[in-house]
Amino acid sequence: MKKLYKSIVFRALILISSCLLSIATASEAPQKKTLDGEISDSQCGFNVHSVTRSHDEMIKAGYMGKTPEECTRNCVRGRGGQFVFVTDDKKHTYRIEPQDMVKDFAGKKVQIQGTLADEKFHVTGIKPL
């Protein structure tokens, strides 16, 4: 009887663990989103040389260009950066895939559509604002 009880408890624990794992995995599924913000570079967007997730410091210094577009392109081309997306409220910065899809919008305000998973945004559509 004791063995039967232990077997039932063990199977119940496995079933509960499996259910909890399924719930956790489902919450990590890609989320479809539409967001407004700016196509920036990873240095400015992730505050590598910026304290405001913007190009302000670099433009003021005249170091990477005179506009957000120039700063973004210079950081990506000359500093090994990547294009990223910074939300309008500057609270979130997301890595972007595919990079080629956003290169024409460097430093510009845009609306992007796509899926968000693991802090990475897979862009399926983009338009200027």
> Average pLDDT, stretch 118-124?
91
- Higher-confidence residue of 12 and 119: namely 119
Highest mean predicted confidence (pLDDT) among 21-25, 57-61, 102-106: 102-106
pLDDT top residue among 49 and 83: 83
Per-residue pLDDT of 57-99, as tens digits, reads 888 888 789 999 999 999 999 888 999 999 999 899 999 999 9
% of the chain exceeding 70 in pLDDT: 78
Contacts of 128 (CB under 8 A, 6+ apart): 105, 108, 109, 110
Domains plus CATH for the chain?
Answer: 30-128 (2.40.50)
- Let me know: does 96 contact 12? Beta carbons within 8 Å: no
Strand duo 83-87 + 109-117: pairing: unpaired
Q: Which of the two residues, 13 and 122, has the higher pLDDT score?
A: 122
For residue 40, count CB atoms less than 10 angstroms from its CB and return exposed for 0-12, middle for 13-18, buried for 19 or more: buried
pLDDT at 108 over 90: yes
Q: What is the pTM of this model?
A: 0.74
Res 18 pLDDT > 60: no
User: What pLDDT is recorded for position 99?
Assistant: 96
